[in-house]
Chains A and B, each alone.
Chain A
Amino acid sequence: QKEVEQNSGPLSVPEGAIASLNCTYSDRVSQSFFWYRQYSGKSPELIMSIYSNGDKEDGRFTAQLNKASQYVSLLIRDSQPSDSATYLCAVNGNAGNMLTFGGGTRLMVKP
């Protein structure tokens, strides 16, 4: 079992819709959770971080964390074609000093 799992997609949504991206992790002692966005041919960039159970909103992005279920999600409201990218979930693993990434979910927002 991979430490951080994501559906590879592609997830296709129409412009203006809500895109929902999901991630599960295996290490119960994980404390910090991140979403990175990676455009094709580019390097990952951090878009959201979340540390406690519940929701965290930043503009059109909302991160949701449920530690009991070992589940993290990212919602993108009013999806735009420019949101089309691969979204990587990253978790602070039990080693404590490096991030473990999932395989990423490719999102396609169609005009």
Chain B
Amino acid sequence: DTGVSQDPRHKITKRGQNVTFRCDPISEHNRLYWYRQTLGQGPEFLTYFQNEAQLEKSRLLSDRFSAERPKGSFSTLEIQRTEQGDSAMYLCASSSNRGTGWEKLFFGSGTQLSVL
């Protein structure tokens, strides 16, 4: 399978706990994006990487959120001290700024986070 892979698919946690999600992009894609989506809403941009560099982060994103892409391949998104408002689907997407263009995002299946 050469699509975007996310792990885990579902995560249930208690308020105040830390959680970490992983995303493996399409192998030849140098850009990786994290979006968050709640029911009935469109995806909301969180952050993006080009290779290993984090180039942009949403101004609305709490300091409790951090993302890494250490070797320019997979990425992790960590949420510290989770709150009930963090409950959402966390979507990873990748693209390439070569060939087909960076704007054609390929999404993974997402990680559904539920904070109790």
Residues of A within 8 A of B (CB): 4, 6, 8, 32, 34, 42-46, 49, 88, 90, 92, 95, 97-104
Contact of A46 among B35, B102, B105 (CB under 8 A): B105
Output the nearest chain A residue to B91 by Cβ-Cβ distance: A43
A–B pairs, 18, beta carbons within 8 Å: A34-B103, A34-B104, A43-B109, A44-B43, A88-B42, A88-B43, A92-B103, A97-B48, A97-B102, A98-B33, A98-B45, A98-B56, A99-B45, A99-B103, A101-B43, A102-B42, A103-B41, A104-B42
The answer on a CB contact under 8 Å between B42 and A97 is no
Within 8 A of A (CB), among B49-97: 55-56, 91
Most buried by A among B41, B48, B105, B106: B105
Tell me the smallest distance from the CB of A69 to a CB of chain B, in Å: 21
Chain B residues near A4: list those with CB within 8 A: 42
B111 to chain A, nearest CB (A): 11
Question: A42-B109, A97-B48, A98-B33 are known contacts; what are 16 more A-B pairs with Cβ within 8 Å?
Answer: A4-B42, A34-B103, A34-B104, A43-B91, A43-B109, A46-B105, A88-B42, A88-B43, A90-B42, A97-B102, A98-B56, A99-B45, A101-B42, A101-B44, A103-B41, A104-B41
Decide if B110 is an interface residue (CB 8 Å cutoff): yes
Any chain A CB within 8 A of the CB of B21? no
Q: How many residues of B contact A (CB 8 A)?
A: 21
The answer to whether B103 and A32 have CB atoms under 8 Å apart is: yes
- Chain B residues closer than 8 Å to A8, beta-carbon distance: 40
Task: Indicate the member of A4, A32, A43, A101 with the most B CB atoms within 10 Å.
Answer: A43
Chain A residues with CB under 8 Å of B102's CB are 97
A71 CB to closest chain B CB, in angstroms? 17
- A33–B19 Cα gap in the complex (Å)? 34
B103 to A, closest residue via Cβ:
A32
What are the nearest 10 A-B pairs in CB distance?
A: A101-B42, A43-B107, A98-B45, A101-B43, A103-B42, A104-B42, A88-B42, A102-B42, A44-B107, A103-B41
